[in-house]
Amino acid sequence: MNFSERMKKLAETDKEALELIQLELQRQEDGLEMIPSENFVSMAVMEAMGSVFTNKYSEGYPGKRYYGGNEFVDKAENLAIERAKRAFNVPRANVQPYSGTPANFAVYLATCQPADVIMGQALPDGGHLTHGWKTSFSGIFYKPVQYHVKQDGYIDFDEARRLALAHRPKLIWVGASAYVRQFPFKEMAEIADEVGAYLAADVAHVSGLIIGGAHPSPAPYCHIITTTTHKTLRGPRGAIIMTTEKGLQKDPELAERIDKAVFPGLQGGPHDHQTAAIAAALKEALKPEFKEYAHQIVRNSKALATELMKNGMKLVSNGTDNHLMLVDLTTVAKGHGVFAQEALETAGITVNKNTIPHDPSSPFYPSGVRLGTPALTTRGMKEEEMTAIAKWVAEATRETEKYRLPAEKSEIAEYVKGAKREIRENAALKRINTEVREMCRHFPLYTDGTI
């Protein structure tokens, strides 16, 4: 059954909703999805996500529910748990978190008291909002200490150790949302162990790479692992919290406290359809072909990074070890990410504007763009396509070189609005869009049931 055949009933009952779904499908079909935190699920995962499990309410855990009728929900959740434990080589897993931020919040609730000192990688340096950034709950309810990256883009371990020794955090995070090198689990574990802190690895971006053997595992080094399930893992939007053997050795009750933090601490009933889809995605991730997929993501990423630099683009850290890269646009102007993102979207290439380390502009108008290869690789694209894509990215970005953010803050919003209007009418970008669509036709998505 292809995607259109699954929409027959909706076509009968709600043509407006169907039209929006079809337009989004067309956008995904016709463009290059290069936001590194996005991917395409299989038809099997989509079917599990849309299953009758969406009808059930299941507060509690398998065998300990507050509602009746959970015999098969229990089995589905246990299936997802067992597959997660096998995939990540851990003894305990909780598959109920609704998404990544609630999962990380549960880690705080299980390990810290309000106002405890916590440490994480600074958001402008590639870190995650929930690792102590000032506008997040993690920076409001706890006392954050932030470590940074050096000029070469690698984490400054000397600074991290100095901060840990000076502030003695209760919890340290390793992992990020825009860090282009391998996550240094071993090095951060040495720092955490020295000060007696819990070490939590947030591997949301690279969990699929870890399962596929294309990135080192945090399991031997960290006490807790959190991940979303919809990035390189290629599953539904959800999350998992795992407790490692090292974590249980440090605190035998850690897994139970995490469970209590998720429910009843932060959430009510789990999304059972999401749990079933996580189980389906994990089964796919445990297959031998997923290993090849994970390694191809990295091969594509390295090839794309090399070609972007050949086309004159500056990359943070001069390359990548994983699935993503950061383009440094300060060579054009500070705060230029907003213009590059708009140009690339007009060209049919979806990326996101992003801060770069030591960004001279603000997070609202950052100086970089973040892009990656998971979704391209899911479509079957390889190194040859990365060469063509790099040329399009470079050419599209060059079309924005005349734009500069005004020095006066009050003038920025209106200037950006006008620039975007011009960019959307740019003939060169429209030509690239046509070429992008032609490439995409050779790598179809759901319209013929290929994924």
Catalytically active residues are 57, 59, 202, 228, 231, 237
Q: In what order do the strands lie in the sheet with 368-372?
A: 324-328, 368-372, 352-354
Beta bridge partners of 147: 121
Cβ-proximal residues to 312 (8 Å cutoff; 6+ apart), any chain: 394
CB atoms within 10 A of CB 340: 26
Evaluate whether 369 touches 351 at the Cβ level (below 8 Å). Answer: yes
DSSP 371: E
Closest CA to 275 of 70, 59, 64, 54: 54
Q: Which two tokens stand for residue 201?
A: 């690895």
CA distance 143 to 199: 16
How far is residue 349 from each of residues 95, 143, 363, 396, 419, measured CA to CA in Å? 33, 39, 21, 9, 18
Closest CA to 308 of 328, 293, 322: 328
CA distance 244 to 267: 23
